[in-house]
Every structure is written in C-alpha cells, then in structure tokens.
A and B are shown apart, each in its own frame.
Chain A
C-alpha cells in the first residue's frame, strides 16, 4: 500500500508535535509552580527593613514586634511607634531611619508591600498554630536570615492540608499534636 502524506502526518508528525506540546507543558507546569505559588516573591519595601539584622543578628523575638499573634488570628504588622521605641535614639542618622522618622513625624503609616497571603475566603488563624507550638519558620521560612523579606513556602490549600494531614510526622517534637482538622469549616466560613 502506498504511503500517503496523510499517513506520514498521522504516524510521525502528529505524535512528535503532541509529545513536544505535552513535554513543554509539563516542564513549564512544574518549573513555574513556585512562581505561581508566589515563592520567591520579594518586592521592594518602602523602608528597607532587614529581618536578618533585627531577628537574626540582634535576636529580637518575633513577638516583640508581631504582638497579638498568640491571641488573635492576625499576626499584626507592628505600628510605627514600635519601631520608634528604639529608633528615637538608635541609628537616627541612617537614611532608612530618617525615612522612618519622617513617616512617624507626619503620622503617615508605612504602606508595606504584602507578601504572605492565603487565598480569598480563607480564615487562617495564627494564634491556634502558635499556641500549639508550631514555629513561625514552618510557614514563613528562615526570616532571621532574610535581608529582604520574601515568601518561602506555598500558601495554597494543598500546602495547608499537607501539614494538617501529616502533623505527627511533621512535628515529632510536639507531644500535644495529633492532626490538624481537615474539614471545610476549619478555614472556610
């Protein structure tokens, strides 16, 4: 039987095209996953604040600034006056501190760029996690190593469930933990 052009297209060209399409899709899908989840997102902030300096080198506890995290679902970004507790005296001459002082004197809040955000319609609760003994770094990464704060982990539902369903193996050091609830009303209401 004479091989027609159609046969050639069906037997060779089509599979190759499909294979390439599929391959590129798969590679792009996995390669861009982190990007899509927002991992690595490190925007420029209005004031060049270094977590590495404060939390890392100077070993200031997270909760010195982020008060209320053990009481409420929100881990508060500190009010300007918390910064000024020290910076009314400390390093008043540095350009970033001058910027900070300017904000403070004018009474304007600093419009920090938001980094960590759970998807819409989710009610994440910080205090529940913190009070169970789960360290901030589990989700936020090693903030004390970051000159510029950025996102380290995925904040998608799969990331939440991954931990909730494997809490015991994730946190062998925590005695008080067996599993995280995985019913809808845990986060959605």
Chain B
C-alpha cells in the first residue's frame, strides 16, 4: 500500500462500477501497478538466487548422486514395501470404500445431524445428515472443520496435575480420580461448582442430577459467551413465557433485520438460511422475499440485504419507536426527522413503511441479540402490530434441556469463591477465564479456590493455566451422547473412532466420580449409562413398537428419533408494556459492538487452521480480528486500514488495528471476539487481539454493546492479511477498453418481470473463432458442468471449508496469505458497488471454470494440464514442472501454486505431525512443492460414481455426482451435473435467462454458469 493519503479529497468522484477496495475505487497507483502483475509483490522474493544459500547446485548433485549410489548398494531396489492385512477384518469395512455413521455435531449447541465419512476406520469428513429434521443434510463451516480439531496434534494426551512449582506433570487417570474424589469428599459443606456450556443432552442433565445427589453441595452453572438472554427476557415481559417461537422465514415477504445477523451467526443459521433462501428463487418471482437490514457494521445478513440502511446500534430503539409511530399512528413525521438526524434518505424509510403496510401478516421484524431488552420488547409489540404472529411456527419449537445461568447467580458464585466457600470448581470443557468479563474478577476468585479441575477436549487454554488438575476429554467424534434442541425429535451421538489419546469422555469422568471408585471406569461406562437412561426414561415415552435393542440400533443408525411432543404455548401478548420504550436515551460518542467471529466462534475453534484461513465473508481478512470503522470515522481519527487505535470503555482499553469497512455506520466500532488466545496452541497463539477484555458485566447496554467509548489513534500499524486484492481481474488495464468485462451481472426483480431476457440484451458479442480444433468428443457421453445461483449464494464460505476437507488443501498461514499464496481452490469474491459510504455488495463464487477453450492448457510446456472428453480441465501433478505459465494465462485466477511444501513450511512442519496423516482423503493426491493445483470438480467423486455405474451396469448419470462444495451449500446455490443430458437440472440452469459465463467474451467457453443476482428493489429504491 502506498503512503498516499488513503481517502482522497475528491470523495464525490468515485468510480461507479464494482470495486473491491478503496485502493481500487480511487485508482490508487499501487493498485493499478499491482494489477499488471500476476503475483503479488514479494510472492517470489524468497526465490531470489542472490539470497539463496551458498550451497551450490553442483555440490547438491554430487551429494545426491553419492547418497543414491550408497542407497542402491545397500538395498534391494525392487523392494516395494509390505502389505499388512487385517487379522480380523471388521465386517462393515470394505477396503477402499467409505463407511458412513450418523451422529450429532457438538461444535455448537444447535446440535445438527451429521454423517461422518470414515475410511478404514478413521473419520475423514463430516457432512450433514439428510434425515435430520432441522439441518436437513447441511452443517456450518465449524461443523465441517471440527474434524481437524479431532486430529489436532496439540490436544492434551494425558491427565496433568499442577506441581508446587507451578509446572504440570503427568498423572495417572486412576490416581487423579482418587485424589479428586478425595477433594469432593472433604468438601465439608462447601460448594462444588460445575461450569459448563449449554446443556443439550437430556442424559447428561440426568447425570448432573446424579452428581448433585452424590455431592449435595455441587451446583451447575452453564453459560455461553453469545446468548439470547435479552430476547428471552423481552419475550417473557411481553408474552409472559420464555417460549420464543421459531420463525417461518420461508413465508415472510418482507424481512426487516435490526442489527441481526440471522444468516451469519445468530440462531440456527442452517435453518434460517435454508428457509430464507427458499424465497430467493428466480423461477418463483411471486414469492421472492425482500430483506431490509438496518445495522451498524456490515454483516453477512446486511451484505445480502436488498436494502441496507446503516445505523449505529444504540439508535435502534429510537428507530423502532419511530417505526411504531409511523405504523401504529400513521405519523411519518418522527421517522422523517429520524432519517434527517442519521442521514438516511427518507425514500428508503418510506419504501420500508410502504412494504410493511402492504404486506401485513407477511412481514417480520427481527432484532439482533446484541440489542438491549427494550428494543426486543418494542420489536415484539411492533411485530404484533404488523401481524407477524402469522409467521410464528407452531409445528416445532426450541427445546431447552436446561437454561443458562443468569448474571446474579454467577456473581454470587464469584462472591462465595472469594470468601472461600467453594471447595472445588470443575470446568467441563469450558474456558471462563477467557470468556468472562474481566470485572467479574474470575481470575482472582479462581485463585482462592483450593481445587480447580478443568476438563478440556483441546489442548491447554487460559483456564487450564489456573487449574490444579487438567483432564483431557474426548472429541465429539470419540463420544457417546444425545441431544434435544427442538420439540419433535431426539438426536443421538455415537463415536466413530476409539479415543486417539489417553482421553476419557467427560460424562464418563463424572460417572467415575459419582461411583466413588476410580476402577469403575471403562470405555463403555457412559454408553451403558446412556443406554439405560434411554431404556428407562426416553424409550417408554416414545411408544415404539420395536423392542428396545432393535429400537436402539435403529436409532443409532439414523442418528435421530422422532417423538410426538407438542411445542409449548408461546403465550399471548400483554396489553400493557408498550409505553416502556418511550424514554429514549440520547445518542452520542463512539459505540462499541462485540460480535461473534464467523470463523472461530467464541474462541472454541481458534486452534483450527482451516477456519483461521477462511476469509471473513465481508472484509476478506484472514487470521485476525480488527476494529471495523467507517470511512468518515477513519478520516476523523486520521487513520487508515492497518493503523492501530486504542479503544477505551470505562477502565478497559484495547489496542487493535482498524479496517475501514465500506457501509459501516459512523462512530461505530465493531470487533469480533474469539481471537487473542493465550496458552492455547501453535495455531491460535498470536492470532488477533483479545477483545473479550472489553466486556463488562454491567456498564454496557448489553454484554456486547457499549456506548460512550473513547477512541484515539496510537500511531504504529499492524498488517492485516486481506485476500481481496490479489487474484484481481485486471480492471486497471481494461478500464478504458470499449467492452465492459461483465464479471458481475445483476438486475432487479422488477426489471426481470418486465423483460426476462434483459440480461441477454446487454451481452457481449462472442467471437467464436478459435485457433484450435474443436473438441469432437465432448458431445459423446457426459459433460460435467456446474451452475452457481448468485441469488442464493450468501458468501458464507461453507463450501470453502468442505473443499479443504475433501481435497487435502494445506493451511499456509498469515504471512503466506499476505503474499498471495493461499491455496483455497474455491473462493468467494466480494465486490462493492456504488457509494463507498453505503455500498451495494455482490458475491461470486470463483473456482476453476473448466473452460472448453482453456487458456491454461495451451501454454503448458509439458502438457500437465489438458482437456478430458467429459469436459474437465485436468491437472496432472506428476507431470507439472511448475512453470506457472498456466496461472499466468488464466483469466479467472483460480490456479494455486505450491511455492513450498506447505505442510512442511507452515509453522515449522506443524502439519507434518503424523496424526494429520489421518485426516487426509486417501482418494486425493497430496501435492508437494513446485506443482500447480486447482479445482478438479471433485474428480474422485466422479470416478467413484463411474465405478458404481460400471458395477451396476448402468449408464453414468450427472445426478450421481455431488461435489463437496455442492453438498456443503446450505442454500443449494451450487448445482452440478451432466449438461449433455437435456432433462437434467444443470441444463436448465445453463440455458436460463439469467445464466451467464464470466468473461464470456474471451471465448473460453466455461463449464461454470452463473445465474445473475436479482435484487428485490423497486425503481425508486435504486
């Protein structure tokens, strides 16, 4: 980046087209220069011959020759190693064929159904369980990446006990159990506190009750860093119950999201996105929904909104009040003056009003969990007014096994810890030292507790450092369990692999302690408990016709069991209470919003390389968190992206780099939590900044929203790694060319209704002449093609993580990403357009387009990339010599070069740890240094389908193959199949009125079709 002032004086003169960054928008010279280069600055620096070591080529070959001669003299060169067969082969295993097990995901409390793919006994991929009534075969990126946590080489392998000198030493499970039980027995009426996350398992709840029976002074506290407490308490105040209904997103015509990221991080995003996207179907324009988003920072929801209004979060109450006045009393004046006050064009607000008024019973307002209770109450009444109760589901409801603990109880726990009334604290795979606000004083309190026992399924963390015993527990894929998160069904969890390390299941650890004898432990301890709990308590209520054993095996096979429970009463709205929000506090100064990270959640996944390297869907920043601020605020503070600022709220301060986020509300600072971990592993340490320290138990509007925050520039900067600049489509070069490149094509629903062929009219002339002879064999059998429906693509990145897992993609690290060497085969490009203060956002999935006239194929000097008769652009690693000509000639910039053996290079061979061998997909080559790689359309899956077709003596059909990204896509934006099959779905998309190819004027004839995005905006909105 140049030293030039980032924000030029001619703010009013931006390029009206699509832009990815401010550098591009204002034609920063560094951007123009860099767009002329294939690779980023510094991409090849390490390979400068002058900087290489003095070890000459000649010497190298001499040594190689000598060692080869020595090796040849010593061994039998024909030896091909050994084949080690099974002694007893497990019945269900066929070598070379995967086995799938249904289970339940434990990455977050939503407990989606998963199918775990295992090969020869080792789990290699997690996908959704299609039979699951809520997740319906899809899981989120954390669920996909959870497999990497199982194979984390730094997982704690043995129980540890803190010695007198503060260091940890290994201890035997039986000894630690005995010692801990001794502590409990000698509690002398003092409390034993169990701190856990949300309890979703009914059997675990029973177990905890048993624990309390055995040790009567124990109490259970469950907490979540991000929770729905404000929504719950607001519902209780306005409806008298805590049973918040689920929403029929798929029947809502108008959705108004207030600071809510219901498509990104809030609630059950799998269900939300699926239902929401059902009504983004371009072939069903009648039901096309319209999403308004009013928010401070740009969120995934806001990015996908048809109309986005930026508004600082602490002004939401005022906004809702104005809306109430406008809808209830038909008085627009307040809203008008509100618009003037916050610089929102009244046109936008007026359209919102019109839409809500004309869609009564089909509109819903959804407030985000960061907003305070009074906003939620106001929204409840407003929703009642516009008839949103029509959209409340009564077929299913959330079910909570046990509620979260409230702040008062936590306070009193900490008080009694400080006064010495707590004998022991058990952390059940939780990390409160990292999560709790600092003014709880938890760190000091915990030091006064004589025995702190921490169970962890990962490695050490902030809490284990202050513990006396650290006990390693099983990963979810090694554990038994059950879950009930909704009415209507139970989920079951089964292990798919024996514990890799000396870990025990946390439930079994508690059971051992309940039994009072350490020898009680066995591998089956919790399974037997679970089974008997089901037999005695759950099975009888299900009225199953099967006997229990049959029922149990069937239930484990399916992963879910349906029951006939009815959703509880939602209550009815109280007539009083509406006046509570008339008193609106003044809004001034900076406001700080703490939100959940899209990648690492609340920090539970921060030691996961795949998730750290997943670009943030909006900012495209990897391996960091940062403070998002608006352009104007940045100008006021005289900072630019990467500069450090200091944020002060009360007595708490944080130094953090900023990122100028187009579309951010002024004076609003947004920071993702979950980063800045300590004592937690190679991957997570030193990544990002710990913004949890900005939390406070009572000074904020909510635990995540703080007003009257002070901000100042500190000087100095911290480089953030952003993936948005490189692999640029050469805009700077072609800006003045007559043809526009039409990478993103968009329209509006209104436009499409009038003229369904509007897209084709603006289409570039394609010159069909080619130097090369046509592929004659492409029409013979199948020809693979993909389509991406940009109306449904939300840009979440689930496909990227699924691709990591399927195709053995290495993690390269922040330093390498900032040099433009990320290895993801699939990326989501994000383009801004329009006013940089309030831009429109477009996403585009970009992967190898498998062009029929592929520019990469012609330039490869060794024919390492060629075209197959079924339309694939093939990449043969063992032929590739690494000239990188193909990447240079690829107009889509989707090829990835292995500058290093990244497994060796990342963090000094961190990924070479032998345990990582287990996570690899054995059907895909592991690429080494010096070869090019790219998307293969999951050729291993195509070949497997072909193999099955030959076995069954059937023709291979396009619908037999699902790519990994397609399987992962929650909104089914991705379709894959055989375009020669005229009845196939893919053919429909290829010939769709909205279908287009990127850069089709280059006559590359891609096999990936994009369906242009339609924004549901009226003419006057635009």
Question: Which of A's residues lie within 8 Å of B, judged by CB?
Answer: 38, 41, 43, 67-68, 70-74, 76-81, 103-104, 107-115, 117, 120-121, 123, 125, 127-128, 131-132, 181, 183-186, 188-189
Task: Give 11 CB contacts A-B under 8 Å.
Answer: A38-B78, A43-B78, A77-B85, A79-B89, A109-B86, A109-B87, A183-B866, A184-B866, A184-B874, A184-B879, A189-B940
Q: Is B94 an interface residue (CB 8 A)?
A: yes
- Judge if B572 is at the interface, Cβ distance under 8 Å: no
Mask of B875-897 contacts with A, CB within 8 angstroms, 1/0: 01111000000000000000000
The complex places the Cα of A77 from the Cα of B940 at a distance, in Å, of 23
How far apart are the CA atoms of A104 and B876 in the complex, in Å?
42
CA distance A115 to B874 in the complex (A): 30
Contacting pair B87 A79 (CB below 8 A): yes
Taking A72-B96, A188-B878 as contacts, is the C-beta distance between A79 and B868 under 8 angstroms?
Answer: no
Nearest A residue to B863 by beta-carbon distance? A184
Within 8 Å of chain A (Cβ to Cβ): is B701? no
Q: Is there contact, CB below 8 Å, between B89 and A81?
A: yes
User: Are A79 and B939 within 8 A (Cβ)?
Assistant: no
- Which residue of B is nearest A80, CB measured? B87
A73 vs B96: C-alpha distance in the bound complex, in angstroms? Answer: 6
A74 and B878 form a contact (CB under 8 A): no
A38-B78, A71-B97, A123-B923 are known contacts. Are A79 and B85 too (CB-CB below 8 A)? yes
Q: Which 3 A-B pairs have the closest CB atoms?
A: A72-B96, A74-B96, A79-B86
Q: In the complex, how many angstroms separate the beta carbon of B942 from the nearest chain A beta carbon?
A: 8
Asked if A183 contacts B874 (CB within 8 A), the reply is: yes
Interface residues of B in 75-116 (CB under 8 A from A): 78-89, 94-97
Q: Is the CB of B924 within 8 A of A74?
A: no
In the complex formed, the residue of B with least CB distance to A114 is B80
Q: Is the CB of A188 within 8 A of B95?
A: no
Given A81-B89, A109-B84, A112-B83, residue A72 in contact with residue B874 (CB < 8 A)? no
Q: Are A132 and B950 in contact (CB under 8 A)?
A: yes
Q: Nearest CB to that of B86 among chain A residues?
A: A79
The reply on B66 being an interface residue by CB < 8 A is no
**A73-B96, A188-B876 are known contacts; what are 5 more A-B pairs with Cβ within 8 Å?**
A67-B94, A76-B94, A123-B940, A132-B950, A189-B943
A103 to B870, CA, bound (A): 48
Give the residues in chain B near A110, CB-CB below 8 Å. Answer: 84-85
In the assembled complex, the Cα of A115 lies from the Cα of B79 at a distance in Å of 8
* A112-B82 in contact (CB<8A): yes
Q: Are B868 and A112 in contact (CB under 8 A)?
A: no
* B87 proximity list for chain A (CB < 8 A): 79-81, 103-104, 107-109
Q: Are B940 and A81 in contact (CB under 8 A)?
A: no
B89 touching A131, Cβ below 8 Å? no
| A72-B95, A188-B877, A189-B923 known; A125 vs B86 contact (CB < 8 Å) | no
Contact between B88 and A79 (Cβ–Cβ < 8 Å)? yes
Is B847 an interface position by the 8 A CB rule? no
Instruction: Give chain A nearest CB distance to B809 CB in angstroms.
Output: 14
Residues of the B chain whose Cβ atoms lie less than 8 Å from the Cβ of A76: 85, 89, 94-95
Contacts of B95 in A (CB 8 A): 68, 72, 74, 76
Q: How far is the CA of A188 from the CA of B876 in the complex (A)?
A: 6
Q: Are A127's CB and B951's CB within 8 A?
A: yes
Q: With contacts A78-B85, A80-B85, A189-B925 known, is A131 near B936, CB below 8 A? A: no
B947 beta carbon closer than 8 Å to chain A: yes
Residues of B within 8 A of A104 (CB): 87
User: Does B872 sit at the interface, judged by CB under 8 A?
Assistant: yes
Q: Is the CB of A128 within 8 A of B947?
A: yes
User: Chain B contacts of A74 at CB under 8 A?
Assistant: 95-96
In the complex, the answer to whether A125 meets B83 with C-beta atoms within 8 Å is no
B869: interface (CB < 8 Å): yes
Chain B nearest CB: distance from A158 CB in Å?
A: 15
Q: Smallest CB-CB separation from B98: which chain A residue?
A: A72
Q: Closest approach, in angstroms, between the C-beta of A95 and any C-beta of chain B? A: 20
**How far is it, in angstroms, between the C-alpha of A45 and the C-alpha of B869 when the chains are bound?**
43
> Which chain B residues (936-965) contact chain A, with CB distance < 8 Å?
936, 939-940, 942-943, 946-947, 950-951, 953
Tell me which residues across on chain B come within 8 A of A41, comparing CB atoms. 78, 80
Chain A residues contacting B870 (CB-CB under 8 Å) are 183
In the complex, A121→B946 CA distance in Å? 19
Residues of A within 8 A of B943 (CB): 123, 125, 185-186, 189
Bound CA–CA A20/B943 (angstroms): 49
CB–CB A185/B872 < 8 A:
yes
Q: Which residues of B contact A181 (CB under 8 A)?
A: 869
- Let me know if B874 and A68 touch, CB within 8 A: no
- Of listed B79, B96, B877, residue having the most chain A CB within 10 A: B96
> How far does the alpha carbon of A146 sit from the alpha carbon of B597 in the complex, in Å?
64
Cα–Cα distance between A112 and B81 once the two chains are bound (Å) = 9
Contacts of A114 in B (CB 8 A): 80-83
- Distance from A125 Cβ to chain B, minimum over Cβ atoms (Å): 6
Looking at the assembled complex, report how far the CB atom of A103 sits from the nearest CB atom of chain B, in whole angstroms. Answer: 8
Complex Cα–Cα for A184 and B925 (A) = 14
The answer to whether A183 touches B869, judged by C-beta atoms less than 8 angstroms apart, is yes
Most chain B CB within 10 A, of A70, A76, A186, is at A76
For B80, list chain A residues within 8 Å (CB): 38, 41, 113-115, 117
User: A14–B942 Cα gap in the complex (Å)?
Assistant: 57
Q: How far is the CA of A165 from the CA of B942 in the complex (A)?
A: 22
The interface residues of chain A lying within 8 Å CB-to-CB of B876 are: 184, 188
Query: Whole-angstrom distance between the alpha carbons of A9 and B676 in the complex?
Result: 78
Mask: chain B, 174-198; 1 = CB below 8 Å from A; 0 = not: 0000000000000000000000000
CA distance A30 to B876 in the complex (A): 29
Q: Which of B866, B872, B946, B951 has the most CB of A within 10 A?
A: B951
Within the complex, the shortest CB–CB distance from A183 to chain B, in Å, comes to 4
Residue of B nearest to A78 (CB): B85
Residue in A closest to B81 when the chains form the complex, CB atoms:
A114
Chain B's closest residue to A76 (CB) is B95
A114 to B86, CA, bound (A): 15
Chain A residue at smallest Cβ distance from B89:
A79
Assuming the contacts A68-B95, A107-B87, A125-B947, asked whether A189 and B924 have C-beta atoms less than 8 A apart, the reply is yes
- Chain B, Cβ-Cβ closest to A72: B96
Return chain B residues, CB-CB under 8 Å to A188.
874, 876-878, 925
Q: Is the CB of B951 within 8 A of A131?
A: yes
CA distance A62 to B876 in the complex (A): 34
Q: How far is the CB of A67 from chain B (nearest CB, A)?
A: 8
A-chain residues with CB within 8 Å of residue B869 when the two chains form the complex: 181, 183
- Determine the distance from Cα of A70 to Cα of B94 in the docked complex, in whole angstroms: 11
Instruction: Enumerate chain B residues within 8 angstroms of A185, measured Cβ to Cβ.
Output: 868, 872, 874, 936, 939, 942-943
Chain B residues with CB below 8 A from A72, complex form: 94-97
Minimum CB distance partner of A130 in chain B: B951
List chain B residues, Cβ under 8 A from A113: 79-80, 82-83
Interface residues of B in 695-713 (CB under 8 A from A): none
Which residue of A has the minimal Cβ distance to B781?
A181
Closest chain B residue, CB of each to CB of A106: B87
Q: Contact check: which of A71, A81, A120, A189 meets B88 at CB < 8 Å?
A: A81
**Chain B 585-601: CB-based contact to A (< 8 A → 1; otherwise 0):** 00000000000000000
Residues of B within 8 A of A121 (CB): 877-878, 925
Chain B residues, CB < 8 A from A80: 85-88
Given contacts A76-B95, A81-B89, A114-B82, contact A127 B868 (CB under 8 A): no
Taking the closest CB of chain B, its distance from the CB of A44, in whole angstroms, is: 11
Tell me the complex Cα distance, A102–B111, Å. 48
Most buried by A among B87, B874, B879, B946: B87
Determine the chain A residues whose CB is within 8 A of the CB of B874 once the complex forms.
183-185, 188
Residues of A within 8 A of B83 (CB): 77, 111-114
**Residue in chain A with minimal CB distance to B937:** A185
Residues of A within 8 A of B940 (CB): 123, 189
Decide: B950 and A120 in contact? CB cutoff 8 A: no
Min C-beta distance of A51 to chain B, whole Å: 15
Residue contact A111 to B951, C-beta cutoff 8 Å: no
Bitwise interface map of B from 838 to 865 toward A, beta carbon under 8 Å scored 1, else 0: 0000000000000000000000000000
Nearest residue (CB) in B for A182 is: B869
Let me know if A120 and B878 touch, CB within 8 A.
Answer: yes
Per the bound structure, the CA–CA distance linking A111 and B797 in Å amounts to 45
